[in-house]
Amino acid sequence: MKKLWLCIFCILLTAVVGMVLRPLFPEEPGAGQPAELEPIAERIAAMTPEEKAGQLMLVGMDGVSPSTSFQQEMKDHPYGGVILFDRNMESPAQVKELNRRLQALAGKMPLFIGLDEEGGQVARMKDSLPAPPSQASIGAAGKPEEARKWAAKTGKALKQLGFNLNLAPVADVGSGAGRSYSSHPATAASFVEQALAGYQEVRLMACLKHFPGLGKGQEDTHKGRVTVSASRETLEREDLMPFRRALEKYPDPRFAIMVTHVDYPALDPEWPASLSQSIMGDLLRKRLHFDGLILTDDLTMGAIAGSWPLEEAAVRALLSGADLVMVCHDPEQIRQVHAAIARAIQAGKLPQDQVDTSLYRILKAKGTL
C-alpha cells in the first residue's frame, strides 16, 4: 500500500512540476499550437529589404499579360499583391490564365490578386462577368441577407477566375453613385455585416472601405484633396458605425480595411487619413482593436499625388500604420516607390519591428486564402 501511495505522489509531483516549468521551456516549433506560425517569422527574418518592400505593395500592371520587366521584378522582389482593372481583362479564360501566371511568378510568396467588384457602376469586365447589383439597390430591398447572398455569389465567381481579394464591400454611409447600402448608419452596418459573412462563407478576402467613412465627402479624391468637416462626435456616431459593428461581430477579422485619402480635421488636423498615425494607429488599431490588414487607397490619386512626392507618401503611409500601399498606375512610379520603401527599411526610417509586424499580418492572411 505504501508503494502505491508513493507512486501516486510521484505522478502528482511530476504533473505539478511540469505545469510550473512548461512556460519557461516552450515546445519546439511545430510541436504545438503556440509555435505553429513560427515558419512565418523565419521567412521574414530571411528576407532582404528589397523583398520586404515588395511585400508591402499592392500594384497595378499594364496589359493583359505580365511584361518582361514585371516578370523580372516579381523574380527579384515579389510584390505583395496585384490589382487588376479592365485594361488587364479581356475574357474569363484570359483572366484565369493571367492569374495563374501571376501566382506562378510569385513563387513561394503567394499573391493577393484583387479587383474592385462592388456591383452597379463599379465592376469589372461587365460584358462577360455579370456584375452584382449596386449596393444601394441591395440595400433598398430592405433584406440584409441579400447582401450575404450576393457577396457569396460574387466571391465564388471571382475565386473561379483565380482572385482571392475583392476590394468590397463599401462601408460608407450615404455615398453617391449607388455605392452605399444606406444613408442610415445602423442599416448600412447590418448590410455590411452580412456581406462580410458571404465572403467568409466562400473564403474570399473582402476589404471594407473607405475608412473612416467617405459618405460625407463632396469631391473626388481622384482629382484632388477632399475635406470632411464633421465633428469627431458625428463621425464616430455615424460614419464609423459600419466599421465598428463589423469589428465587434468579427473580432478575428478575415478581411482588410482600406483607408481613404480624405482629410478629417476633427481626427487629424494635419494629415489625410491614409497618411495619418492618429487615424490608422490610434483610432483603427488601438481604439477599434483592428489587427487585420490596413491598405491605402491608390496613392497615385490626385488627393495624394498632387500634394506629396509619391515615394514620400508611401513611406509616410507605412510609418503611420498601413500594411500595404497601393500604387495602381505607371510601372516606373511603382518601381520608384519600391526603391524608396527598400531604402527606408535599409536605413531604419521604417523601424524593423513595425515592418516585420506588417509582414507577419500579410503572410498570415495569405495563409488563410
What residues are annotated to the active site?
222, 297
**Cis-peptide, bond into residue 212, ω within 30° of zero:** yes
Q: Distance (Å, rounded) from C-alpha 220 to C-alpha 278?
A: 23
Contact in structure between 151 and 198 (CB atoms under 8 Å): yes
Q: Distance (Å, rounded) from C-alpha 280 to C-alpha 274?
A: 7
Grid cell of 71 as nine digits: 516578370
Q: Distance (Å, rounded) from C-alpha 50 to C-alpha 79?
A: 10
Contact in structure between 37 and 365 (CB atoms under 8 Å): no
H helix and E strand count, the chain: 15, 8
Helices (H), 24-162: 38-45, 49-55, 68-76, 92-106, 135-140, 144-160
Contact in structure between 291 and 250 (CB atoms under 8 Å): no
| β pairing state of 324-327 and 294-298 | parallel
Grid cell of 229 as nine digits: 468637416
